[in-house]
Amino acid sequence: MPEDWVRYWRADGLAVEAMHAHFTSHVYHRHSHESYSFGVTESGAQAFSCRHGRHVSAAGMVMAFNPDDPHDGHAASAGGFTYRMVHVWPSFFTETPLPLFRAPVLDDPAAAAALRRLFVALTGPATALERHDRLVHASRLVVRHASSPASVAADPVLAPVLAPVLAPGAARVRAVHIAATVRALIHDRVSADVTADDLAAAAGCSRYAAYRAFVTAYGLAPSDYQRQLRIRMARRLLVSGLAPAQVAAEAGFADQAHLTRWFRRYYGITPAAYQRS
C-alpha cells in the first residue's frame, strides 16, 4: 500500500498555492482555508463532511470549497486517494459579491481538465502570463457552479447553515452579534491564551451561549478556530523563512512539537517539509 505523501508549490506574483498529495491513513482534522480551494481527485476517493453533509469525491471529480468552509477528509477506499488542489486567495476574484459554491463536489470534466492544466503551469516551466491565463480560464469554468446570495438563501441545504446571517429575528441578530464579538476577540488575541470566560465577558452572555452562537455561525468551536488562525499565521511565517521553532513561539504554540503535530493534522505535512517545498 502506498505511503502518504504531500508536496506544495507557490507561484510568484499570484495569490495561489498548489498541492499534490496521496493519503491512505491520514485523516484531516476539521478545518477551513482562508482561500478558495479547488481540487481534482486523480485516483481513489476522498470522503469528507462539509456544511452538515457527507460527501465523496471520486476520480475525475472537482472539489470546490469556499473560504472559511469547515471540512475534514479521509480515504474512502482501501487504496487511499490521490488529488491535486489549487488554493486561490479571494483577492484574485473581482466579482462583487464573491462567488459562493453550493455544492462542494462538482462533476465537470471541462473544469477538471482546466484545473489539471493550471496545476501543471503552476508547478512546472511556464511564463507568468501563461500561469495567469490558465488561472483565469480554470476559475471561470469552476465559477459557473457558484450561486448568488439570493439563491443560497432559498436553498434548502445551505439556508439552514447560513440562517444566522440570512434570516431576520431578534434572537438570531443577537446570536450573530455574539459570534462576531467572540470572533473579533480571538482575532485580536491569536497567539495569546483566551478562556471561555473571556469570550463570554466580551460578548456579554454565558459561556454556553457564546459557544453555541460561534459554532452555529462559523462551524468550528472557538478553540479550533483560534488554533486554525495560529496555523495560518505559522504558514505565513514559514513562507517568510522563519525557523520552525521561532514560528511556533510567534504563533502561540507551546513548542515546536506542538506546532508540528497540529500542522500535520491540518495539511498532511510537517512545517519543515512545507517550508522546504
Residues 20 and 131 in one domain: yes
Residues 209 and 233 in one domain: no
Query: What's the domain range around 193?
Result: 162-219
Residue 150 has pLDDT above 60, yes or no: no
CATH of the domain at 250: 1.10.10.60
Residues 20 and 134 in one domain: yes
Last residue of a domain, one of 189, 219, 249: 219
Residue 168 has pLDDT above 70, yes or no: no
Mean pLDDT, the chain, rounded, equals: 88
CATH of the domain at 179: 1.10.10
Start-end of H helices in 66-108: none
Residue 164 has pLDDT above 60, yes or no: no
In this prediction, residues 12-34 reach a mean pLDDT of 92
Residues 95 and 174 in one domain: no
Give the integer Cα–Cα distance in Å for 194 and 49. Answer: 28
Tally of domains in the chain: 3
Q: What is the pLDDT of residue 160?
A: 47
Last residue of a domain, one of 219, 246, 263: 219
Answering whether pTM is above 0.85, one says: no
pLDDT-derived band at 161 (thresholds 50, 70, 90) equals very low
Give the integer Cα–Cα distance in Å for 27 and 72. Answer: 8
DSSP track, 41-64: EEEEEEEEEETTEEEEEETT-EEE
Residues 136 and 16 in one domain: yes
Count CA atoms closer than 13 A to 226's CA, side-chain side.
20
Residues 84 and 169 in one domain: no
Residues 234 and 175 in one domain: no
In this prediction, residues 21-41 reach a mean pLDDT of 94
Reported residue count of the chain is 277
Q: What is the pLDDT of residue 15?
A: 87
Q: What is the pLDDT of residue 125?
A: 87
Q: Is 66 helix (H, G, I), strand (E, B) or coil?
A: coil
Residues 124 and 199 in one domain: no
In this prediction, residues 30-46 reach a mean pLDDT of 94
Residue 165 has pLDDT above 90, yes or no: no
Residues 54 and 178 in one domain: no
Give the integer Cα–Cα distance in Å for 190 and 198. Answer: 13
pLDDT tens-digit series, residues 169-215? 666 778 888 999 999 999 999 999 889 889 999 999 988 888 889 98
Last residue of a domain, one of 174, 198, 219: 219
Residues 85 and 180 in one domain: no
- The sign of the dihedral angle between the CA atoms of 109, 102, 137, 46 is negative
Q: What is the pLDDT of residue 96?
A: 62
pLDDT tens-digit series, residues 229-273? 999 999 999 999 999 999 999 999 989 999 999 999 999 999 999
pLDDT-derived band at 98 (thresholds 50, 70, 90) equals confident
